[in-house]
Structure formats: C-alpha cells, structure tokens
Structure 1
Amino acid sequence: MLWGVSGPLFLLDYLAAVAGALAVALAVRAATGRRVRGAEPDTVELAYLTDRAGLACQVGVAALRRAGVVHLGGLATMSVDGPPPPRSAQLVRALHAALRRPQTWAAVLADPTVGRALRRLVGRLVRDGWLLTPAQRRRVALATVPLFAVAAVGVTRLVDSAVEHRDAGTPASVAGLLLCCLATALGGWWLCEVPETGAAARRLLRRRRRSLAELNPELRPTYAGRGTDELLAAAAVFGPRPLLAIDPRFAVQIGVDPERTRPTTPPKLARR
C-alpha cells in the first residue's frame, strides 16, 4: 500500500507535501518580474497594466478630451480640432492621428496607427520588466507542476487501495484525502492562470490604488470637485467608471457602461 503508513499519517504527510509545493509555486510567482528598469509607467501605461488595451485607449482619448481637442459628432463619431497636448504619450498621439477625420470608437480601436502605438507600448513595458515575457510566464506556470504531482500521489494511493482491496485508513481519512486531492488539483489549475504583469507592476498598482482609495468606484465615492488629472489616474487603476464624472456622454461613447465598472471594449487588443 502507498505505502506502509496509516491513513491519518499519510494524510498528514500529504498535507505537508502540498504546503511545500504551494510555497514553491507562490514563491516563483512572487519573485518573477520583481526587477524593473526605466521610469515608472505613466497614466496610460498604468491603464494598460490594469486592464490592457481597451482601458489604455479610453484613458488616452479622455486625456485628449480633457485638453479640449476631441469633439463629439453625429452618428456616434468623434474628431479632433487642434494639436495634441505637449509631451503627450505615444498612444495619445496615435489616437489623435486616428481622429483627424470623424471616426466611431470601434474604428479608432481598429486604426493601424493605434495598433502600432499599442505594440510599442507593450514592447516598452516588457523590455522594462513591468509585463512578463513568454519565458517568464512559462516559468510561473511550470512552478505549479509539483502541486499536480502531489495530487497524483494521493490519487494513486486511493486507486491502489481500491483496486488491491487494501486498507487506506478510516473512512474519515479516505474522505479527507479525496477532498485534499481535489483541492490540490483545483489550486494548481487556478495557479496555472499566470498574470501578464510582473511582481513589481502588481506592487505598483496596489500602491496607486491605496493612494487613490477614496476614488474607488466600489465605494461609491463622490467625484464632484475632483480634478480631471485625479479622475484620469483613478480610471487608470480602477477601471473606466471615473471617466463618467468627467463627461458622461463622452464616456458612454467610448464604451464605458454606467452600470458596470469594466470596459465593454475587448481588453486584450494588443496582447503579445
């Protein structure tokens, strides 16, 4: 029998092995992407780290609207009148270029200039360590293998005991081992979902959210009297709902649903 130990003792050994495997998986996840270089992400880049391309474009075009160069037209179109603000982010300039003639929001997102700017933005975030490379993501995923291996050992004991008609312990220990195997496999499956952001980026986002906690849409804050820059920063880390406080009609036109806190546009337009 797997293997020479009683059911309760095997269960204790199993739990110790799960704890070790879980510690390895979490340590690798926490350590990957800790080192970054270059300047901290700006507001548009923070929006990308929060919810990828959809939110980055929403915050970028909201910055143009704040500067007074974006105007709403008929048939859900928008256009620009005037140059972009000085020292604008590259994505903001690309959005401005796409709106030199009236466009719907869907057409803006599909514009090749915007797509190129998003790819360059992603490249910069990957190069500086804020987004994980494919190799780093594979490393994090592979760190979950010990969890599945431990679950396989537990299942093997249960199957071996059933096939060979051997005593696997008391019914309570058998049920406990079965539940632990299921929980281990589900935990490994959950940890296989690797975040695209590195540890440093997640730490930065948590810090920014704490500094802007009073503007968290989940707390139903009062946005009246808040500066536009502050609302753009809140949108970059919490989602687009604060944009409704800047200009409700404009926010709805760029895909902000007043009943939800997530963007309705696809969030991964520029995933690599």
Structure 2
Amino acid sequence: MLWGVSGPLFLLDYLAAVAGTLALALAIRALTGWRTRGEPPSTVELAYLTDRAGLACQVGMAALRRGGVVRLGELSTLSVDGPPPGGSAPLVRALHAALRRPQTWAAVLADPAVGRALRRMVGRLVRDGWLLTARQRRRMVVGTLPLFGVAAVGVTRLIDSAVEGRTAGGPASVAGLLLCCLATALAGWWLCEVPETGTAARRLLRRQRRAHAELAPERRPAWSERSTDELLNAMALFGPRPLLAVDPRFAELVGVDLERTRPATPAGARRR
C-alpha cells in the first residue's frame, strides 16, 4: 500500500487534505475582489454586473424609452426624437447617438460609439474593483490546483494498490476513497469556473436585491404604479422581464426573450 498506511487511516488523512485545500480555494475566492474604490455603480453599471453588456444596453434603452425619446419604426427599427434625459449615463448617450437615424437593435449593438462606451464602463468597473482583472481570475484558478493534486494522490493510491496486487483497505474504504477522489475532482472543476465579478460586486448585488425585493418579478409588482427609477432598478437587479410588462413591443425589439425571462413553473403546478 502507498506509504504503508491502512485504508481507514488513509481515508481520514485524505478527507483532512480535501478539507484544507477546499478551504484554501474558497478563501482565495472570497478574498479576491473584496475591496473597491470610487463611486458605487450606477443603474446601468449594476445591470452590467448582473448580466453583462446585453442587459446594460437594455436598461439604457429603457431609460430612453421612459424618457419619451425613443420611437418605434417600420421593419423593427428604433429611432430617437429629442435629446436624452438629463444626467444620462455615457452608455445611454451613446445609445441615443446611435439612434439618430433609424436602426435595428443588432445595428445599435454593433455601433462603434456604443462599443467604446461599453469598454470605458468596463474599464471603470475593473479599475474600481467591481470586476476582476485577468490576473485576479488566474489567481482564483491557481487556488483550485491543490484540489486536483489531492485527487491525484487518491487515484495514485488506488492504482498503486491494484498494480502491486495489494489491498487499499476493505470494500468500504476503497469505495469511500473512490467517491472522495471523484468529488474532489468535481469540486476543483466547479471552482475553476471563476466569476467576472469580485466579491464586493456579488455582495452589493445581494444587498440591493434584498433591499428591492418587492420589485422582483416573482412578486408581480403593479408596474403602472411604479416610477421609472423603480423599473430601471428592477431590470438592473432582476433582469429585463419588467420591461415586457410595461412595453412588450419595445421589449421585443430590444431583444428581450419572453421564453428566457419567463419564471419557472413550480413542480406542483406542472404535476397538476
């Protein structure tokens, strides 16, 4: 047997090693991006943190639409009639500029000025710590490597015992070690999927969603009684579904997918 350790004792040592390496990986994950600087994210920036560029642009377009400057044209085109609302975010102004002549939603997203506004916004979020840098993301991936090392040790133990014709312990020890090796490798694989947002950003989104829980689509708010700011906050935090409730035709033109944003049917309701 590997190192001359009995099966049950090796399994206990293995579990201790898994616990230690898992704690290390989770600690690195939790501490990466936990500090920020600068101003808190705006509504459009919150939308980017929630679901990247697509949602940020949809929130920006909703701001223009609620400001009364977006017109729906023929052949699924959009245009503007009037200046953007005062104090609009740079991305909103870029969207407004792109619509000075009728455009489809795909053409708006491909507009160079919109792309530049998005890149500047992302740069600001990275600089202030809300989004992770490539170096921070690599650090999180490296932090998961000890898990794969521990899994390799367990697999080596099993292979060594099989090749040498020795026993790695009783059936329970062998089965337990095999399951632990598989679980360790799966945990490492799962933790390799690192988020783009830092810990501070995820904490902010959780806090904002709790603070605005009454705007969650599952609560079915009466949007006719809500302000524009509440609608935009709901979209930024919970996705674009609220726009379907107040302006379904416009929502369709800006790429809101009814099937993708539809709430899941409870299991009990499906059975009925």
CA distance in 2, matches of 1:106, 1:206: 31
TM-score (norm 2): 0.94
Give, in angstroms, the shift of residue 245 of structure 1: 2.4
CA distance in 2, matches of 1:128, 1:150: 36
Query: Per-residue CA shift, 1:103-144, capped at 9, x if unaligned?
Result: 000100000010000000000000111000000000011000
Q: Deviation at 1:231?
A: 1.4
Aligned to 1:234: 234
- The answer to whether the Cα contact below 8 Å between 2:72 and 2:79 also exists between their aligned partners in 1 is yes
Which residue number corresponds to residue 269 of structure 1?
none
Counterpart of 1:160 in structure 2 is: 160
Structure 2 equivalent of residue 75 of structure 1: 75
Q: In the alignment, is the contact (CA less than 8 A) between 1:217 and 1:261 conserved in 2?
A: no
8 Å CA contact retained: 1:126, 1:133:
yes
> Which deviates the most, 45-54 or 226-235?
226-235
- 2:127 maps to which residue? 127
The alpha carbon displacement at 1:3 in A equals 2.1
Residues 173 and 223 of structure 1: CA distance in aligned 2, closer, same or farther (over 3 Å): farther
| Deviation by residue 1:29-74 (Cα, 9 ceiling, x = unmatched) | 0000011110000000000000100000000010000100001001
Shift in Å at residue 220 of structure 1? 4.4
SS at match of 1:3: helix
How many equivalent residue pairs?
262
Q: Secondary structure at the match of 1:161?
A: helix
Matches within 5 A, 1:1-272: 1-261=1-261
Distance 2:248 2:227 in 1: 15
Aligned to 2:268: none
Q: 8 Å contact 2:224–2:246 — kept in the other structure?
A: no
1:184–1:220 Cα change, 3 Å: farther
Identity level (%):
80
Aligned-partner Cα distance in 2 for 1:223–1:211:
18
Q: Equivalent residue of 2:97, what SS?
A: helix
Per-residue deviation at 1:258? 2.1
Q: Over aligned residue pairs, what C-alpha RMSD do you find? A: 1.2
Shift of 1:216: 1.9
Alpha-carbon contact 1:78-1:104 (below 8 Å) kept: yes
Q: Distance in 1 between matches of 2:223 and 2:147?
A: 46
2:71 aligned counterpart, secondary structure: strand
2:197 & 2:232 partners in 1: Cα distance? Answer: 21
Give structure 2 stretches of 5+ with no counterpart.
Answer: 263-272
**C-alpha separation in 2, matches of 1:37 and 1:236:** 21
Distance 1:160 1:222, change over 3 A: farther
Gaps of 5+ in 1: 263-272
Looking at secondary structure, tell me which structure has more helix per residue.
Answer: 2
Cα offset, 1:224, TM superposition:
4.1
Report the Cα offset of residue 8 of structure 1. Answer: 1.2
Q: Please state whether the residue corresponding to 2:37 is helix, strand or coil.
A: coil
Matched letter for residue 252 of structure 1 = E
- After superposing on structure 2, the runs of 4+ consecutive aligned residues of structure 1 that deviate more than 3 Å are 218-224
Contact 1:215/1:223 (8 A) holds in 2: no
Normalised by the length of structure 1, the TM-score is 0.94
